[in-house]
Structure 1
Amino acid sequence: MKTLTCSACGTRVYFLNTACLTCGHSLGFDADALAMAALEPVEPDGPLFRKIGINGKNGMAPVRYCDNAEHGACNWLVPEGAAVSLCMACACNRTIPNLAEPGRLEAWQEVEQAKKRLAYSLLRFGLPLDGGPQGAPPLTFDFVAEGVTGHINGVITLDVLEADSVERERRRQLFAEPYRSLLGHLRHESGHYYWMLLVERGGAVDAFRATFGDEQQDYQGALAAYYASGAPADWSDNYVSAYASSHPWEDWAETWAHYLHMVDTLETAEAQGMEPRAAGLNFGAAWPFKQYDVYRQVSFEQLFERWVPLSLALNSLSRSLGHSDFYPFVISAAARAKLEFVHNLIREGAR
């Protein structure tokens, strides 16, 4: 994520902030400008605000907070007079947990934080949340307790019990995974949604099958075989993760999630001034180097050349603190080709 600043005083702020500690203005995330907007009330103690220093596609029209702000689950802004009282990210929710049950509010707040991060990336790519011109179902979320995480026909279901770090770690070990997170789940399941938009309805099925395999093979049977016998011994030669070997759809979704991991992490590292460049680095040269929009401008080759040294450096830092690897994966030549396929398809779909 790029560095965010208060639009009133220029102080650095963060994605979840609702107030600037320097100038005291309320803050809200403007999804049109992809920026944090400092706010001043239209009327004292009223619900409407004027944005300071940001003039998005709605001009300087007043805005208000998303209705989910009252639950501490959202800081995104909604234009005055909008047809719905939820922001574009929260409007994707079809189901949320019963907030009266103990622990559900806190779990949902964590899930929403991860979902907003996903939404930020999708908006940065320019990908549609509403199904796009192909008329696909809109991106929809069911956040439930003790449900089965997955995707079907545009609806992503996530078990909010995954917000509990102990439960998530139990499941990680149960499934012998090197990595498990809420954001990882959401990025993976969003891959299934965008397979429907970019591959199936985007006319790329033949190219997909040439790269990932034939998705027409029995899906449930493939998953059952994977859970019974595990991944093949040589899975790392062809896949980004063991689970990706279970079926071409899961290979795509895992690859999609890893691509989103890479792009968001690279943008964040560059914004923080900590990215070790793979090439062209003259030691002693002054920072910053020329910055590029990794969501729109950088080729896959450039992106990958920057990702490898960054992930290695982050793994070393993590080990220095006594933790496991930050990015516990090795990308083979075959997995790299699949990541490039995702890269190219996203660029075409956004265009």
Structure 2
Amino acid sequence: MKTFACQVCGTLLSFENTKCEQCGAVLGFLPETTTLSALRPLGAGLWQPLEASEGPRRFCANHDHGVCNWLAPPGAQAGGFCLACQFNRLIPNLSSPEKHEQWRKLEVAKHRLIYTILRLKLPFKTRLQDPLGGLVFDFLDDPPDASGSIVTGHDNGVITIATREADDAYRERMRVDMGEYYRTLLGHFRHEIGHYYWNILVRDGGRLEACRRVFGDDRSDYASALHAHYQHPPVANWQEKHVTAYATAHPWEDFAETWAHYFHIIATLDTALSCGMTIGPQIAGTLPPPDLGDPYADMTFDDIMAAWVPLTYAVNGLNRSMGLADFYPFVLTAGVRLKLAFVHDLVREAQRKGA
């Protein structure tokens, strides 16, 4: 995430800010330029972004619910949705403040996901553009009669997120019960979008055989593989080739877990670099090059790794100094880096095709 500053007073801003805490300026996010801008009120629900020279804009309809600070496209009528919220199909039942707060947390994660997709210039289609495989989000509550539980997952562009994952206590309990190092809403979104991009960039992008050589044969029975994964612990040396234990379940899950970690790395590294952080232990040959560039656009995979590993070493050390869990509790072995490099090449290839 790059840094943002108020165009009125220069105060640093956070991505989710709706107003400047220093001068009180109303803020709105411009997805086409990935910029957070102070706004000048024009009346009748219209605002003039100070960052842009274009005409008046309206807020996304979900701004009225306090869950979105993005601006709708130019010329949008009242009640129109922004680029991120247009992908929503089903949202939680807002009959209680608890459900509204869960939706807010889901939207925070989803908007950060869409931001990364925009910065990477990855292709995507709405359900209207592609009725069979377009991207859409369903945020679903468990049935009130306790007849079953909603399963977070992906199915041909439909990403379902169980709203109970927005309950911090539940999510932490599941993380411990499942033996996971890491479980966040943003992590769920990044994992499930990996399945979506497997369809677009691998299956439909002519990279299926190359992907199978790296991740394994995805034609193995998926349901049986998941059942076996939950019945038996992964092999002792799983970290040699997999970034998480869950990645061992099936090549599809391996790809999605690797994709999610690529997003973790790119987004976090961009935040660090935007804040002027270039960290490396004082060991000869390990420091990243002085001019790192943009991890979203032009950094090589080797430069990304050279910057990322020292950063995680430093921040893990800071967390341990405070008695906290590691910031990034994962080991990027040679086998994992090979898979991350494949994802990196997929992304760069998609960028070149879309240029």
Q: Which runs of 5+ in 1 are unaligned?
A: 283-288
Offset of residue 20 of structure 1? 1.6
The two structures have a TM-score, normalised by structure 2, of 0.91
SS of 1:118's equivalent? helix
Matched, 1:174 2:177: yes
Aligned partner letter, 2:90: T
What does residue 227 of structure 1 align with? 230
Match runs of 1:152-191 below 5 Å: 152-191=155-194
What does residue 242 of structure 2 align with? 239
- Equivalent of 2:104 in 109, 124, 128: 109
The alignment-based identity, stated in percent, is: 48
Distance 1:345 1:9 in 2: 41
Distance 1:131 1:348 in 2: 22
Distance 2:215 2:282 in 1: 30
Matched, 1:23 2:36: no
CA contact (8 A) 1:7 1:54 kept: no
CA contact (8 A) 2:89 2:138 kept: yes
CA contact (8 A) 1:31 1:76 kept: yes
CA contact (8 A) 1:278 1:306 kept: no
Distance 1:25 1:245, change over 3 A: same
CA contact (8 A) 2:27 2:38 kept: yes
Matched, 1:267 2:265: no
What does residue 141 of structure 2 align with? 145
Distance 1:130 1:278, change over 3 A: farther
Aligned partner letter, 2:315: L
- Equivalent of 2:82 in 87, 95, 105: 87
Matched, 1:256 2:245: no
Distance 1:261 1:120 in 2: 13
Offset of residue 80 of structure 1? 4.4
What does residue 197 of structure 1 align with? 200
Distance 1:257 1:279 in 2: 30
**1:234-291 deviations in Å (ceiling 9; x for gaps):** 1111111110000000000000000000011101111122330479999xxxxxx645
**1:186-239 deviations in Å (ceiling 9; x for gaps):** 000000000000000100001000100000000000000000002111111111
What does residue 66 of structure 2 align with? 72
The worse-fitting range, judged by mean Cα deviation, of 12-21 and 293-302 is 12-21
Offset of residue 78 of structure 1? 0.9
Aligned residues between the structures: 338
Matched, 1:42 2:36: no
What does residue 57 of structure 2 align with? 63
CA contact (8 A) 1:278 1:305 kept: no
The worse-fitting range, judged by mean Cα deviation, of 232-241 and 336-345 is 232-241
Distance 1:31 1:149 in 2: 27
CA contact (8 A) 2:57 2:76 kept: no
CA contact (8 A) 1:94 1:141 kept: yes
Matched, 1:54 2:52: yes
CA contact (8 A) 2:122 2:351 kept: yes
What does residue 146 of structure 2 align with? none
**1:144-193 deviations in Å (ceiling 9; x for gaps):** 12311000010100011111111001111121111100000000000000
Distance 1:270 1:91 in 2: 31
What does residue 129 of structure 1 align with? 124
Distance 1:281 1:296, change over 3 A: farther
Aligned partner letter, 1:81: G
**1:61-92 deviations in Å (ceiling 9; x for gaps):** 21011111111100000134337701010110
Distance 1:2 1:280, change over 3 A: farther
CA contact (8 A) 1:266 1:275 kept: no
CA contact (8 A) 2:40 2:47 kept: yes
Distance 2:114 2:249 in 1: 27
Distance 1:17 1:281 in 2: 41
What does residue 119 of structure 1 align with? 114
SS of 1:195's equivalent? helix
Offset of residue 2 of structure 1? 0.6
Distance 1:6 1:281, change over 3 A: farther
CA contact (8 A) 1:8 1:53 kept: no
What does residue 3 of structure 1 align with? 3
Offset of residue 139 of structure 1? 1.5
CA contact (8 A) 1:61 1:79 kept: no
Distance 1:344 1:24 in 2: 43
What does residue 341 of structure 1 align with? 342
Distance 1:319 1:277 in 2: 17
CA contact (8 A) 2:134 2:156 kept: no
Matched, 1:98 2:118: no
CA contact (8 A) 2:46 2:56 kept: yes
Offset of residue 93 of structure 1? 0.5
Distance 1:70 1:194 in 2: 31
Distance 1:149 1:293 in 2: 32
